[in-house]
Amino acid sequence: MTAVIASYLPRTGEVHDEVKESSPRHVRAALARAGAAAPAVEAVPPAERATWLDALAQAVEAAATGLVEQADLETALGHDRLSGEVQRLAAQLRFYAEVAAGGESLEVTLDRATDTRPALARYRRPRGVVAVFAASNFPFAFGILGHDTASALASGCPVVIKAHSAHPVLGDLLADLLVDTLRECGAPAGAASVVSGFEAGLSLVGADEVAAVAFTGSTSGGTALLRAAAQRPVPVPVYAEMGSVNPVLVTPSAATTRMAEIARGFVASYTAGSGQMCTKPGLLLAPRGADAARLVTEAFRELAPQPVMLTSGIAADVGERMAAMESAGATVLASSGSRESGWSAPAAVLAAGPTALRRGSSVLEECFGAVAVVVEHDPDVDAAEGLAWILPELPGALAATVQTAGRHDPDAARYVDLLAGRAGRLVVDQWPPGVATTWSQHHGGPWPATADPAWTSVGATALDRFLVPVVYQNATDALLPPPLRSDNPWRLPRRVDGRPEEPA
């Protein structure tokens, strides 16, 4: 009997389809094929690997209508949001193609021999097979073809991807698209495979073939993978992007001049996608006397969100988290009633006093849903319940935001500075969702936002996770891999004796 994964409709909570779970034999075969493909994938020049990613972008665009339809059934995220996300997926695949083709990530560095040192030639080669755990909440941008897969392939690593069980039929569509497109491009067999099921995921983390793990999900899920990987005879890095509360600070001038607008922006931002975003701003810190809690409550009542969640587990968790926050001293100011059917969960705005924000409190844990907390604090930063007292209690975040009164706000610089070291991205007068895929993006942050703040899962440096240096000492051209040969067959930018050099 083959185990199956049910495909549910979150809007009704009903099963409408099912897919087969990967058998242990299937998982072993995918890993073996990936391991065998690693040298072949590595040997493909980066400019050619880039064409695979461009082809995937094109295939995604061609299949967009059907993909969006299926995704909407299984996620209830809505056509508009999902259509935008498909376009974003195509754009990010093309971005990683551009980064791969540029060859900067390989960091070719040559030191010629001198009287006192040997010739040394270094570059970064692919780690090997990457196990990717696709996320539930962005079925395209962080899904089977998402940032982790694209940046791993761009780096020259084969991938074995665990599909998320929240959208299994969509997973099958994306898996076919991935495997078929790579085959048509002439990529080595085994360069990418998709597996499904909880056991399959565990097998990936323990597998000898796997050289790195990339994960986007909850803190508990990420922590479990980190623990499992630590049990391996040979440890491998787990690049886990986990939970984040993403605080928002409001300067005194902004609170005086723009508090109603900020309140609306905050509610729109934290309820988007039913609050199921890692960059959801979950905590608004505003100076006392600006009516922040009342204005956020008004905006919440206007918007009247009716969240439908991705899974029944996520839906159940929202209520539990809210109860925990209340036990820890928060008060519900407003909440939307649950719908009658399906995986609905309350949306809510809560208030808490500064004293509730102590390290380890449930008020400071991520609630993966359309729930946020407003805190009114002493406007004096250095006072007993001011920001300098509150901020060291907050866990690390992916993104922290400062809302200012614009260019002449006298407190803006101090407020931005207060957040240094507390988040991977500092946002000014905008909102954290909508992570642009660019050269300078950083989507990572201090624990528990990610396992190590050094790494990003979005942007050009996402490739860095999957590359490791090797240096050749006193080796002639005939012994060197293509990236290091003097005729530079891959046309890579290089640093020679410490000076950057573009390819001729």
Catalytic residue numbers read 241, 278
> Strand, helix or coil at 474?
coil
> How far apart (Å, rounded) are the C-alpha atoms in residues 127 and 147?
17
CB closer to a copy of itself out of 127 and 321: 127
Helix (H) or strand (E) segment spanning residue 402: strand 397-403
Residue 439, CA atoms < 13 Å, CB-side half-sphere: 5
Helix (H) or strand (E) segment spanning residue 111: strand 108-111
Cβ-contact 299, 264 below 8 angstroms: yes
> Strand, helix or coil at 14?
strand
What are residue 245's phi and psi, to 5 degrees? Answer: -90, -20
The nearest distance, CB 459 to a copy of itself, in angstroms, is 8
Strand ranges (E), 217-301? 238-241, 247-250, 283-287
The nearest distance, CB 215 to a copy of itself, in angstroms, is 15
> How far apart (Å, rounded) are the C-alpha atoms in residues 95 and 123?
22
CB closer to a copy of itself out of 139 and 424: 424
CB closer to a copy of itself out of 36 and 468: 468
CB closer to a copy of itself out of 298 and 472: 472
Residue 319, CA atoms < 13 Å, CB-side half-sphere: 12
| Other Cβ atoms within 10 Å of 163 Cβ, number | 27
CB closer to a copy of itself out of 123 and 368: 123
Residues found near a copy of itself in the complex (CB under 8 A): 102, 107, 109-111, 116-118, 120-122, 125, 127-128, 230, 234-235, 237, 396, 402, 407, 412-413, 416, 420-421, 423-430, 436, 438-442, 444, 446-447, 451-454, 456, 460-461, 467-476, 478-479, 481, 495, 497-498, 500
Q: Which amino acid is at 116?
A: T
The nearest distance, CB 322 to a copy of itself, in angstroms, is 25
The nearest distance, CB 172 to a copy of itself, in angstroms, is 31
